[in-house]
C-alpha cells in the first residue's frame, strides 16, 4: 500500500497549485491528479451536485489504487468532505480558506476572503469563520468568472485584469491587510494580485498547509512511501490537455498528462 499513489482531484487545473506543493514536500510519493474541467466550475453548483462529482472523482482515484485522497478544491471540501469520509475507508485531506492565520496576524482587523459562491455559502466555512474570526471584519468576495478564465487559458488577459480589479478595489478601500485565497485556482493569480495590492496586504493560500497535513497523515497511518527513488506522476483531464500542460510548465517534477473520460 505504501507504494500506491496519492490521489488528488479538483474541479479543473487549479488544484495543480496543491499538487505542486505535495510533490515538492513528498518527492518520493507517486501521484495521480484528476482535473475535472468538463464539470467546472463547481462553485456555482448545488451541494448535491458537488457531492456527486466528488464521489465520481473519488471512485476514479480508488480505481487507480490511491491510498489517500486529497480534495484539492475548497468548494468540494466545504460541501462534500464529511460525506466522503463517512462513505469510504481511505483517508481524505481537504482544503479550506486559511482564515485562522489571517485572523491572528491582521493589524487593521480587516481581512478579505476571495472564494467561490459554493465555498462562501457552505456550513463549514461559516463554522470556521465563526470560530477564528469573531473579533475581526471578514469581507467575503465571490470570485465569479475567475475559474472560467483560468480554465480557458486567460490568466494574462485584459478580462482577468478588469475582473480582478473590480474585486480588489472595494477591499483596498476597506483597508484590509490580509487577503485569503479560498480557491485552489487562485494561487495562479498571485503575480497579478501583488501588482494590484500594495505591500501592506499579505496574500495567504492553503497549499503548503495541505501538503504538510498530507505528510502528517501518511506518517500517522504508516502509508508514507519509504522509496528512495523519485515518485512518478500521472495527470488526467477530461477536457483540454494543452491547458493542463501549460499550467504545469513551471513545475520541477516530471510528469505525464493524458486525457481520460471520468
Ligand atoms: N479549485 C476550486 C476551489 O478550490 C474551484 C471551484 C470551482 O470550480 O468553482 O474551490
Opening angle at CA 220, ends 214 and 226, nearest 5: 75
Secondary structure E strands in 25-176: 31-35, 68-71, 92-93, 110-115, 137-142
Q: Please list the residues that pair with 63 across neighbouring strands.
A: none
Q: How far is the CA of 226 from the centre of ligand 1 (A)?
A: 32
- 147 close to ligand 1 (CB < 6 Angstrom): yes
In the annotation, is 66 catalytic? no
133: DSSP letter: -
Q: How high is the pLDDT of residue 98? A: 95
**pTM of the model as a whole:** 0.96
187: DSSP letter: G
Q: How far is the CA of 93 from the centre of ligand 1 (A)?
A: 16
Q: How high is the pLDDT of residue 198? A: 85
- 75 close to ligand 1 (CB < 6 Angstrom): yes
- 41 close to ligand 1 (CB < 6 Angstrom): yes
SS3 (DSSP) at 243: helix
Given 183, 189, 197, 223, the catalytic residue: 183
> Which residue's CA lies nearest to atom 2 of ligand 1?
73
- 40 close to ligand 1 (CB < 6 Angstrom): yes
Query: Which parts of the chain register pLDDT below 50?
Result: none
> Which residue's CA lies nearest to atom 8 of ligand 1?
41
> Which residue's CA lies nearest to atom 5 of ligand 1?
183
Amino acid at each position: 500500500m505504501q507504494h500506491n499513489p496519492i490521489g488528488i482531484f479538483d474541479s479543473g487545473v487549479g488544484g495543480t497549485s496543491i499538487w505542486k506543493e505535495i510533490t515538492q514536500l513528498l518527492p518520493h510519493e507517486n501521484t495521480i491528479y484528476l482535473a475535472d474541467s468538463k464539470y467546472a466550475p463547481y462553485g456555482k453548483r448545488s451541494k448535491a451536485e458537488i457531492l456527486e462529482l466528488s464521489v465520481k472523482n473519488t471512485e476514479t482515484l480508488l480505481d487507480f489504487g490511491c491510498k489517500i485522497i486529497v480534495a484539492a478544491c475548497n468548494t468540494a471540501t466545504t460541501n462534500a468532505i464529511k460525506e466522503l469520509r463517512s462513505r469510504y475507508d481511505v483517508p481524505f485531506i481537504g482544503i479550506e480558506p486559511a482564515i485562522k492565520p489571517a485572523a491572528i496576524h491582521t493589524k487593521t482587523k480587516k481581512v478579505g476572503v476571495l472564494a467561490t459562491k459554493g465555498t462562501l455559502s457552505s456550513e463549514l466555512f461559516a463554522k470556521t469563520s465563526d470560530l477564528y474570526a469573531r473579533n475581526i471584519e471578514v469581507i467575503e468576495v465571490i470570485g465569479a468568472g475567475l475559474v472560467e478564465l483560468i480554465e480557458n487559458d486567460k490568466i494574462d488577459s485584459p478580462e482577468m485584469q478588469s475582473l480582478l480589479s473590480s474585486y480588489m478595489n472595494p477591499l483596498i478601500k476597506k483597508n484590509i491587510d490580509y487577503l485569503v485565497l479560498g480557491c485552489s485556482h487562485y494561487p495562479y493569480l498571485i503575480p497579478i494580485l501583488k501588482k494590484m495590492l500594495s505591500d501592506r496586504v499579505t496574500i495567504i493560500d492553503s497549499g503548503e498547509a495541505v501538503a504538510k497535513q498530507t505528510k502528517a497523515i501518511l506518517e500517522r497511518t504508516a502509508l508514507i512511501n519509504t522509496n528512495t527513488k523519485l515518485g512518478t506522476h500521472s495527470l488526467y483531464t477530461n477536457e483540454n490537455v494543452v491547458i493542463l500542460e501549460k499550467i504545469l510548465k513551471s513545475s520541477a517534477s516530471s510528469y505525464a498528462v493524458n486525457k481520460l473520460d471520468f
